[in-house]
Amino acid sequence: MNDNVKFDGNNLTPKDYSLTGTSAACAVTTGLTAAEWYHSDVPRKTMKALMKRRDGPAIRDTIIWITLHLIFALGGIYFWGTWIALMCWLAYGVIAGSVCDSRWHECGHGTAFRTRWMNDVVYHFASFQIMRNPVNWRWSHVRHHTHTIIVGRDPEIGWMHPVSLMAKALSFVGIIDSYQSLKILAKNASGFLSSDEIDYIPKSQYPKVIFWARVHMAIYAITAAVAFGMLIAGMGWQSVIPFLLIGGPRVYGCWHFVMTGLLQHGGLAEDVIDHRLNSRTVYMNAISRWLYWNMNYHVEHHMFPMVPYHSMLRLHEVIKDDLPRPNRSIWEAYLEVYKAVMRQKNEPGYFLEKELPQSAQPYKENLHQAIPSNDVNVNI
């Protein structure tokens, strides 16, 4: 089976995950792209308070984030060759290779800071760390929120069927993903955009795509040149330090953002317009919530993407009676995803439909008429 094809129900009708194929046309003709999404009711005054942007929380968190960069990097260099250095580099990897994902995400929404230039600076810094072209991914994420997990329209679907569990396991060590990211940046730097990128990036933004790709590739080239110079100078294994600082964390430190990111939509429904069916909220410990900037409240985020990260817990408390029960832990969520994905291998149309509390509005069938009738829809 082709990794870019999904099969509906038992008829094995292929769905193309590309943005220019048959599934994209189907999403339009069935009305999925024009349908109105379900949103929990929130009083206007409450929502206005929740959406209020502030600089303070993100400035505090960014100062802590940058300080941790410096502490662990300097510790890794100073204690080079010891177990302390190893621990410092592993910690630096998470700070530079995982935390960047949540900072990229929130600053891309423009909600982390009230001040726009602060969002822009952190967004570009985090985009570089996670090896994403800042222009491409800004527009990609707009599409992801507009057409969340709608096949042929959402460029950020992470669970394409049939799912390769081996590929998901390998993503915790970002060698393959980093290679793919560098390849895309190199192509962009040479002036090439893929057909999918052309589909969601406005033509007026193409020069920016090329410019920022060239900036990123130039920094990586300088990093490689410095490492080579250190090797020639006889510094031995210390010549890998530039890569441990720049680029390397996307490989050896990405595991936390991969771990949390795979839970966002795994095992849930495609081609629906109710975020309670295609997104997942997971309770996490305080450290993971800080690293992830509260994106574990993912149903809430997709319903109301303009609510800043520091207000997500309050938003959760306001609408939780209208949502499925959150997973109580990362472990519980992964067990749920694994069972669903294994079942999807045998029943390609299956997806989790979690039980709603009695206080919730029901999953309205009229919102999901675009789902092929032969999909298997089972309550859990």
Which carries the bigger pLDDT value, residue 14 or residue 345? Answer: 345
Which carries the bigger pLDDT value, residue 333 or residue 1? Answer: 333
Q: What is the pLDDT of residues 269-279, one digit of tens each?
A: 999 999 999 99
Q: What is the mean pLDDT of the chain?
A: 92
Tokens representing 117 are 């230039």
Looking at residue 372, what is its pLDDT? 43
Q: What are the Cα distances from residue 139, in Å, to 169, 198, 205, 279?
A: 28, 11, 10, 20
Domain residue ranges in the chain: 1-380
pTM metric for this prediction:
0.91
Q: Are 326 and 281 in contact (CB under 8 A)?
A: yes
> Which residue, 345, 348, 339, 346, is CA-closest to 372?
348
Could you write out the DSSP letters of every residue in 254-303?
Answer: THHHHHHHTTTTTTS-SS-S-HHHH--BB---HHHHHHHTTTTBHHHHHH
How far apart, in whole angstroms, are the C-alpha atoms of residue 33 and residue 225? Answer: 47
Sign, CA torsion 284/289/293/294: positive
Query: Residue 120 pLDDT more than 90?
Result: yes
> Which residue, 111, 95, 123, 115, is CA-closest to 51?
111
> How many other C-beta atoms lie within 10 A of the C-beta of residue 346?
7
Q: What is the pLDDT of residues 348-372, one digit of tens each?
A: 888 998 899 999 999 865 544 444 4
Q: Give mean pLDDT, residues 255-280.
A: 96
